[in-house]
Structure formats: structure tokens, C-alpha cells
Structure 1
Amino acid sequence: VGLLFDMETDDRFEIDYHVRHTVLPRPGNDRQLNDVLARMHANLLDRDRPLWEFHLIEGLSDRRFALYFKVHHAMADGITFGRWIDRSTVTDPKDLSLRPIWAVTEEPEDAEQPDLSYAQIIQDGVKALGGGIRTAIDVSLITAKMVQRRFFDKDDHVALPLSAPRTPINVHTGAARAVSFTAYRLEALRAIGKSQGGTINDVVMTMCDMAVSRYFDEHGTRLKGPLVAYMPVSIRTAESDGRGNLVTLLQVKLASRHEDPLDSLAEVRESIDSAREVFSGASSTAVQYYSLMVALLSLFEELLNLDRLLPPVNNMVISNVPGSRVQRYLRGAESIGVYPVSTLPPLTALNVTACSFAGTMYFGLIAGRTAIPDLDTLTEYLDDAFFALAEATGVSTD
């Protein structure tokens, strides 16, 4: 009835609670930083306070420091977060102004108090009902289109709900987390994709598919079909105000096993095109509702312990977020890396998020520590997948 997503002022706000300071012991290496980040990320945000934390982490070698900003996904998606980074940093290293990231979000416009009269509530309810009916029709059309393409058009690239193979990483994850990071030249990724008529995103998805498939092979897991990944897609428009989360999830069936990495890239590219085609023409609201329905299947599987009876909805999350194209500075300090650390959906113990920044694509892997205790090994396989694709396409990795 128009009363959701309300904003309220926190009269008990304590900046000291949200802004925190950590110092690593010597030698202050990246492994220590990863361990600290994994522990910080494992803890839920306090639901009784504004849903964010900011951590200044000092003690890193080579006079480095890290900034870890943790925010609930309901408040920001990757694009929103990138805008916050841009507003809290500068492009001129001589500019020593300071704009804390928690203070650069748009101020909510002054809104009048909602009209709570019975007449207005009824009117809003009628509007919501009408919109709901239209959305339900659109969602039904999406489902029908998916079934048609899969069973009547024989499009094997379409990923149906509950069609993902069972794997050791589609389990109850628990609270413990592991994180790992790597990075590649953005131009190299672009050149690999372009050489095969594809995009950077096609290459990112293929690299993750190759790495995870190899990881399963090395651990003796035999898959009964191609992996299925959630691929977050922004549905922002020019009219979007830049706040909140405006992302939907597409299910993408990845590649069958191929000796040639270019065959894997071609199959993943076709699967991504099929996923986008299924949702073409549908309203953004309908796409969001369909994605929400599919995501709820995973939640119900987890809550009701149905994962022993039903196949998983998806196997992992692979996301690609655009960031700043130019170097950024914070009071003269150069940003030497922007690594994303995302979230894990129900029954999904792996999320790989890539973020472009100043000519480099930074990958952040987060996993359930029990399901994937050797996450760094998976990161090494991701590196190997990148080099294999580069070699197959003749692209320089220097």
C-alpha cells in the first residue's frame, strides 16, 4: 500500500560503533589481512543499528593500509558502492580533502508524511493490486518463454530452476568464511573476449567455470551436468536515484567439459545470450519478481532441509561490477587495489565478484570455510584459466 521501504532517523547513532580501527601484527602480510577480513565478514550486521561498518586496518607491509566498508546489500548494490567510492576519493593526488564514505551518500529528499487516511490506503491498495496483476502476467510469460525455449526450441543453454548439479559447495555454509583475491589486466580480458566475439563478462564467467570445474575434478567430484551460476544484472535506469539495490539475478548454465578453453568460452557466451533472451521484453519489476521467486526456492530448501531431496537452484554466484576508470586517491594515498567481498546466498558456498578499477579487474572470492577450506587453491586455478584463455587467443598477459 505504498508504506514499505520507509526511512527513519536513528536517534541513538554512535559513530564510534560504526567506525573501527584494527592494527595487524608484524609482518603485516596479505595472508594476515585476508584472515582478518574473513572474520570481520562472518559477523552479521546489527539489525538494531544502521546497517554499515567501516574498518581502518593498519600495520600492512610497505606502508600500506586497508579500508574495509561493510554494508547491507539492501542499502547498496555494486554500482551504488562504486559511486560512493568515487565520491569519497579524488583523482588529484594533491587534493587532501577528506570525505568519509559514510557521509557521501545522497541525502533522502524531504518527504511529506504519508497520507494514512482510509481513502488513500484503499487507493494505494487498488494501484498495488493492479500493478501486481500486471507483474504476475509478465512473470507467467517469462516462465512460459523459458519452457518453450528449453523443451520446444530445444535450447540446451537455458537454465531451468532446480536444474543445477549437486556439488559439495551447495550446502549449509555456517558462519565461518574464507576470502581470497587476485587481479588481471582489464585490457587483456577485453582482448580475449573480443577475439571470440564476446565480452569481458563472458571471459569472467568462463574463467570461473573452468576454475571451479577443475577444483571439483581435483577433489574427486564428478558433475552430472554443467554448473549453473547466478549472474547479477543491474536494472538501473537513467531515472534511478543511485541509492539502494537495483539488481536482479539471471541463471546461467555454464559450459560442458571441453579440452579447448575457447569451446568453453563459446558455450558460456551462448548460455548468457539465452538467459538474456528469456527476459527480453519483460519489465524490470517482473524480472525482479521472477528472480526473487527462484531465490526463495533456495531459502526454502535451506530452511526445510530439502537440499537432500531436491537439486540446488544454482551452484555459485559470479558477478562483474564496473568501477572507476581512472586512478583515485585518498588524502594523497594512491588506491592500489579495490577488492570486492560479497555475500553468500542460501546453500551457496562460493561467490566470485570482479570489479574493474583503473585498468585492472580485481577479483574477490568469498566462500564458506567448511565447504571450501582451500580457497587459495581455487584462486590459483582461476589464474591458470586466465592464462589458458590468453594463450589460446594469443593475448599478452604482460
Structure 2
Amino acid sequence: MQKTRQLTPQDVMFIAGESDRIYQHTGALVLLDSNACPGFCYEVYRDYMSERIGQIPHFRWKLHEVPLGLDLPYWVEDEQFSFDRHIRRIAVPSPGDRRALSELVGYLYSRHLDRSRPLWELWFIEGLEGNGFAVFQKLHHCMMDGQAAERLAEIMGDFAPNAPPRELDPAIREARPGVLPDPWQESGNTLTHLSRLPLKFGREVAGVLSSRLQRRLTGKRKAVGKKPPAPPTPFNVDIGSEREFVFGSLPLEDIKRVKEHFGCTVNDVVLALVGSAMRDYLLARDELPDASLRAAMAVSMRSKDDEELGNKVSSTSVTLGTDLSDFAARLRAINAETGAAASEVRAGGRGPMEILQLFPPLVLNLLFSGVKAEQVLNMMGANVIVSNMRGSARPIYMAGARMATMYPMSIISPGVAINVTCLSYAGNVDFGITIDPVLVPQAWSLIDGLEQALGQYLTLAGGRSGRRRQAAGSKPAAPVAKKRSRRKGEGTATQARAPGARSRGAQRRRKKPESEG
């Protein structure tokens, strides 16, 4: 007899956290190089993806929510599933450059997924400069985390043009959502789970207190130390419903060169680049706090051989070193925190978010609906979310077209209006920055800040490789004449290369795309 299948408590956090202003889906902007694939078009891509997605049962699952939110929702098969309800085509507004593409992606992201259907969408984007194509993917976070979503690209793609389909992992190919529970079974499950809640809650709280006491007694807690609070900034307030997405790429070879020189990790270098860009951004506006900004750093809880889709991720708070003008000192400060902090999380360090996962959706909805920005800031202990994922070192092809870049797009929340997510792919690290455009104007300067910071670190490491950052289009944007000022001791900045964002009024008047189907 086939069993029912409920979402995990961590999955449900992403459902309960949604509101009119908060979206809990992730995204990915993929630029396609079809130069070696004559005849590539929407119809070719659609037929290819229809065949590939048809082999992955997860994409036919939809939510069945328990009345009143008294228990975890169920995954059930969508009996009315139609691929054409989930794939759309749209043209980017003229002139089709990266700024126009950015506006379109922000518009597409700022719409909730339909919970009565499987929680994903594919947008095939036409009209890019040079007759180029792109794909924007939306996927609800309750389905899978970022690392699993990246694996999905490898599953749906090929490692050579026009390669035969590869055999899918049985854990994915044979996954089943479970049957729709009858009312009596659903009620019984709900009563059972509710009756066990006090015991689970008591055990969880006792476990947290016990692990903290044990770390203090063994001295392990001292290695991490008490984390300082995140200082308030203009983007650590309540957010609106609009999103903007800026993106760019840096050579992985250059980042690894810095890593080897300083004896740290790629993740440390990424955090140092983000910290440097954030420092420049706030300095230019005379809004840099004296205390260092802190980042909510994603920590994967997956084992090396974990092939399942789903959510297995936690987070911890680390410094971004924005209080330090010296680049080397900033990286050393970050490195001093990251290793111990991640180890603590993987060893079972738990906190308020793990406690919250015990509550049924009804309670979570009530808690999240009343949460204030300052409460999120205090609970997360972070000003910005930073996530670094490892992708394929080999190029991936879809319907014969090469995926040139994969820019990840993720979630912002009240109190944290900036999310920086990056993915190493085919020799580059592709950065996607999601922001509230009213709270974070001129967000393209953050992308420039990442490149400028890498240049500074490469100078300290003895030089850069011949590869340069490649922007979203085939042509770089025109330089901006004005340079940003820096505090003494920071070095010389290169010219900004990306166009500035719109003013508050212009942002409110965002144009609707030309067509949508």
C-alpha cells in the first residue's frame, strides 16, 4: 500500500514564511549560447525540456494543505498536470541589454507561484542583444535547496551538444509523492502529531541547552566566541514587494589564486569580496556603521554522496570585516570565524529556527505575520545573506545550446534586504544579488565592487590571470565616469562598469514586459 508523504518541518518554514511582500521561491537566470546550434528556438527548447522534466517525478507534485494549518502539508500527484502551464515565453524589452534583462527578471520573480499546481515555472526569454536567448527558472524553496536545484541543471542537461539522455539516479527517477490521505487518516495523523508536540519541544530545548553546556565545559564554545550583534543599516528594515536582480561573473581561477595565497577557502574569499563591496557601497553613501556587517552564511548539511532532492541546509552568522580598511586584515578576520562557525552548525549547534520548525503551520503563520524587521535582524544576527554553491566544472548543454552562465537568485526577508548567492560553473563564479530596489538603490555598483575587490586581492597575491569578468551580455557596459571615494588606506578603485539603478520614483514606474504568454 502506498504511503502518504508529508513535507519536512524545514520545508514548511518556507511555506509559512510567505506573504504579500515575501516570496519563498528561488530563481536562476541562465544565458544560452546557441551559436553552434542552428535552428535553436523556443519550440526546440520546449520539446527538450518536456521530455527531460517528464522523467523527474518531483515536478508533478503539488501541495495538499491540512485544514487550518494544524499539521504538515502533503505532497500529492497533480492529476491535472500540464507542462504547458509551467513553461512560458516572453520577450525582453528593447534594447535587450543586461539592464533590460534585469528589469524583466525582477518583474517575473515578484509574482507568487500558484499553490494549486506544482511550484515551479520556466520562462524562455527572447530578444536579447545579438539575437540571444535566456531562461529564467522559478522554483519554490519548499521543494529543494539551492544545492539540489543546481544538481537539477546537471540532471536536465547534457555534458556535450546533442548527447543521448543520461540514466537518472533511482532516488530521483523512482521518487513518489504519496497518496492523498482520506479525511479520517488525515485527522488521525494531525492528532498524533499534535499530541507529540510537547514532548518534541521539550526534547529540542533540552538538547539545545545540553549541547551549549557541553561546548562550554569542553572549551569548544570558546573557539567560536559570542557573536556580536549585526549593526543596523538602511537595508535592515521592512521590505516591499518589488525585487531587483543584478548579476555578474568572476574567474574562478583568480579566486583560487587568492585562496592559495592567503591559505583560506574559496568561501572565505567570496565573503571577503562581498564585505569589500558592501563597505564601498555604504562608504559612498556615508552610511557605513562602525561595527562590522555580518552575513548569514549558508551551511550545507548534505553528505558528500547525498543525491536526493530536498532541503538540507542550515546557516550561521559570520563577520564581513567591513570595519577594516585593510583588505588582507578583512580576509583574515573572516577566515578566523568561518571554519569554527560552520563546524559548530554541522556538529549540532541549534538555535531559534530549529525550535520554530517544531510548530504546525498555523502557529508559524501567526508568528511570521507579526514579525518585525528588527526581530529578524536580532534572530539572524546578520545584515546580508551570502550563499556560495559549487556547480559543474564542465559546461552543460540544453537542446544543443550551451549554458554560458547560471546566475542564482534567492530570497530576501524583512530586516535583510540583500541576498548574495554565487555558483561556481564552468570556470567562473556567477554572482546573483537580489535586493529591494527602494532600500538598495544603484545595486549594480555592488557587482562592480566585487570585481574591484578581487583586483585588490589579486594585487596582494601577485597578479591576476588573463581571464576577466564577463558581464551578462556579450558586450561590457560603458564605463561610468565618476569614481567612488574610499577611505584612506583602501587603494585605488577601478572605474564602475555597470549602469546605475533607477531612482525611487522610476522604480515605482517599472514598465511591464512587451509580451507574456
CA spacing shift, 1:183–1:126, aligned 2, 3 Å: same
Contact 2:391 2:423 in 1 (8 A): yes
CA spacing shift, 1:2–1:153, aligned 2, 3 Å: same
What is the deviation of 1:175?
Answer: 1.0
Q: Map of 1:38-187 to 2, 5 A cutoff?
A: 38-95=106-163, 106-109=173-176, 111=178, 116=185, 132-144=201-213, 153=222, 158-159=226-227, 163-187=229-253
2:275 maps to a residue whose letter is D
Match of 1:234 in 2: 300
Moved more, 351-360 or 122-131: 122-131
SS in 1 for 2:405: coil
Could you state the TM-score of these two structures normalised by the residue count of structure 2? 0.66
How many Å separate the matches in 2 of 1:200 and 1:29?
A: 30
Match of 2:331 in 1: 265
SS in 1 for 2:149: helix
What is the deviation of 1:308?
Answer: 9.2
How many Å separate the matches in 1 of 2:118 and 2:130?
A: 34
How many Å separate the matches in 2 of 1:319 and 1:328?
A: 22
SS in 1 for 2:404: coil
What is the deviation of 1:142?
Answer: 4.8
How many Å separate the matches in 1 of 2:186 and 2:433?
A: 49
How many Å separate the matches in 2 of 1:91 and 1:23?
A: 28
What is the deviation of 1:389?
Answer: 1.0
CA spacing shift, 1:149–1:230, aligned 2, 3 Å: farther
How many Å separate the matches in 1 of 2:224 and 2:327?
A: 22
Contact 1:138 1:286 in 2 (8 A): no
Question: Which runs of 5 or more residues in structure 1 are unaligned?
Answer: none
How many Å separate the matches in 1 of 2:107 and 2:376?
A: 32
Matched, 1:337 2:402: no
CA spacing shift, 1:131–1:78, aligned 2, 3 Å: same
What is the deviation of 1:306?
Answer: 6.3
CA spacing shift, 1:239–1:188, aligned 2, 3 Å: closer
Match of 2:34 in 1: none
Match of 2:105 among 37, 42, 47: 37
Contact 2:5 2:76 in 1 (8 A): no
How many Å separate the matches in 1 of 2:271 and 2:248?
A: 15
How many Å separate the matches in 1 of 2:328 and 2:159?
A: 38
What is the deviation of 1:32?
Answer: 1.2
SS in 1 for 2:76: coil
Contact 2:322 2:330 in 1 (8 A): yes
User: What is the aligned-residue identity percentage?
Assistant: 26
How many Å separate the matches in 1 of 2:373 and 2:150?
A: 37
Matched, 1:275 2:275: no
How many Å separate the matches in 2 of 1:275 and 1:155?
A: 6
Matched, 1:9 2:77: yes
Contact 1:23 1:58 in 2 (8 A): yes
Match of 1:193 in 2: 259
Contact 2:223 2:340 in 1 (8 A): no
SS in 1 for 2:291: coil
Across the two proteins, how many residue pairs are aligned to each other? 388
How many Å separate the matches in 1 of 2:351 and 2:374?
A: 27
Contact 1:98 1:330 in 2 (8 A): no
How many Å separate the matches in 1 of 2:377 and 2:179?
A: 48
Contact 2:290 2:323 in 1 (8 A): no
How many Å separate the matches in 2 of 1:23 and 1:98?
A: 32
Matched, 1:20 2:88: yes
Could you state the TM-score of these two structures normalised by the residue count of structure 1? 0.84
Contact 2:373 2:414 in 1 (8 A): no
How many Å separate the matches in 2 of 1:270 and 1:243?
A: 32
Deviations along 1:196-243, whole A, 9 cap, x unmatched?
110100000111011112211111113131111111111123675522
2:337 maps to a residue whose letter is S
How many Å separate the matches in 1 of 2:431 and 2:149?
A: 16
Match of 2:354 among 279, 289, 300: 289
Match of 1:254 among 304, 320, 324: 320
CA spacing shift, 1:130–1:311, aligned 2, 3 Å: closer
Contact 2:113 2:120 in 1 (8 A): yes
Task: Give the superposed CA RMSD.
Answer: 3.8
How many Å separate the matches in 1 of 2:282 and 2:131?
A: 39
What is the deviation of 1:31?
Answer: 1.5
Match of 1:303 in 2: 370
Moved more, 53-62 or 19-28: 19-28
2:154 maps to a residue whose letter is D
What is the deviation of 1:259?
Answer: 3.0
Contact 2:236 2:377 in 1 (8 A): no
Match of 1:350 among 408, 413, 418: 418
